[in-house]
Structure 1
Amino acid sequence: MNYSQRLQNLVLHFQTELNRIPQDEFSAKAHPAKWSKKEIVGHLCDSAANNYIRFVKIALSDYPIPLEGYDQDRWVELNDYHNSYDPYDVIQLWINRNVQIATVLAQIPEEDYTKEGILPSGESATLDWLAADYIEHMIHHFRQILGNERIETMINQSKKSKVEHS
């Protein structure tokens, strides 16, 4: 699986969709304890920051390394995505972090995708598994933001486009 290309394709599709969401809808909270769509994108920025470090550390290591977890709610709270970022800025941050990840994933030799990290649970995970999980995590949150039907349509169009360009 070419994770770099898949990530780049998803960023292009999701970027367009995110920019179509009206600002008031993007920032609205359905409940005070729930994240707004803007905060979900902020969480994806935090996920990108943490996974970028994981991917680089695993790729550069010759042995399985421990991978730190992070308190996602506290990260979103500390970054104050809801009040301190306008929609454009949080979307750009998400795009930039994922372009950086896509670049790194493209530079990692195929054989290094079998390298492992140790998750906070103590289980080991390959770089291949972590990259796939990162992308699935992103898609999961875009289902929350955009709805299942729009996501499935985008994914199917992406696959169709990939076949046509093969």
Structure 2
Amino acid sequence: MNYSQRLQNLVLHFQTELNRIPQDEFSAKAHPAKWSKKEIVGHLCDSAANNYIRFVKIALSDYPIPLEGYDQDRWVELNDYHNSYDPYDVIQLWINRNVQIATVLAQIPEEDYTKEGILPSGESATLDWLAADYIEHMIHHFRQILGNERIETMINQSKKSKVEHR
């Protein structure tokens, strides 16, 4: 399965799961310094915004380009996902940003997945690695939101698919 299709499948699955979470549970904070489930989804929106730019810049460049990092906590704080978004809106934002990324990933030619970017650490990473890492990062946070068992069941179901992996 290619990255675009995998991301689309995850969005379809996770949007259903997110919409099943009661609003009070979705917005609840276990501790004032910890993110709520809503803020975790907001963080995934920020991750999508940053990675979309990375994917496009690398795909359009003929040489390795520097990739900026971002202060995740400050992005969540500035976007005020906890107070300024209702659950439906933050879920829709996450869906829309990931559909856009899936569209871009589908349009990138196979050979461009070997193109590289330079991470803030100075290490280089291929577009292929960044796309896989983006999806794994999303799954990591959905484990926090939904629990390991539900995520593992979904991942095992998707592995049974006969579609080729990129």
Deviation at 1:158, TM superposition (A): 2.0
Q: Deviations over 1:98-146 (max 9, x none)?
A: 0000000000000000000000000000000000000000000000000
Q: 2:20, 2:153 → 1: CA distance?
A: 16
Q: 1:87, 1:98 → 2: CA distance?
A: 17
Distance verdict in 2 for CA 1:83–1:117, change over 3 Å: same
Q: 1:164, 1:63 → 2: CA distance?
A: 29
Specify every segment of 5 or more residues in structure 2 that has no aligned partner in the other structure, as ranges. Answer: none
State whether residues 2 and 165 of structure 2, in contact with CA within 8 Å, keep that contact through their aligned partners in structure 1.
no
State whether residues 2 and 164 of structure 2, in contact with CA within 8 Å, keep that contact through their aligned partners in structure 1.
no
Q: 1:163, 1:2 → 2: CA distance?
A: 8
Distance verdict in 2 for CA 1:165–1:75, change over 3 Å: closer
Deviation at 1:43, TM superposition (A): 0.0
Q: 2:50, 2:163 → 1: CA distance?
A: 32
Distance verdict in 2 for CA 1:132–1:27, change over 3 Å: same
Q: 1:37, 1:111 → 2: CA distance?
A: 37
Distance verdict in 2 for CA 1:6–1:164, change over 3 Å: closer
Runs of 4+ in 1 over 6 A off after TM superposition: none
Corresponding pairs, count: 166
State whether residues 7 and 98 of structure 2, in contact with CA within 8 Å, keep that contact through their aligned partners in structure 1.
yes
Q: 2:53, 2:165 → 1: CA distance?
A: 32
Q: 1:3, 1:164 → 2: CA distance?
A: 11
Q: Deviations over 1:77-113 (max 9, x none)?
A: 0000000000000000000000000000000000000
State the SS of the aligned residue for 1:35.
coil
Deviation at 1:41, TM superposition (A): 0.1
Distance verdict in 2 for CA 1:54–1:164, change over 3 Å: closer
Identity %: 99
Provide the alpha-carbon RMSD of the alignment.
1.9
Q: 1:35, 1:162 → 2: CA distance?
A: 37
Q: 2:165, 2:48 → 1: CA distance?
A: 28
* Equivalent residue, structure 1, for 2:41: 41
* Equivalent residue, structure 2, for 1:105: 105
Distance verdict in 2 for CA 1:94–1:7, change over 3 Å: same
Deviation at 1:162, TM superposition (A): 4.6
Q: 2:72, 2:165 → 1: CA distance?
A: 38
TM-score scaled by length of structure 2? 0.96
Q: 2:30, 2:103 → 1: CA distance?
A: 36
Distance verdict in 2 for CA 1:13–1:162, change over 3 Å: farther
Q: 1:124, 1:38 → 2: CA distance?
A: 32
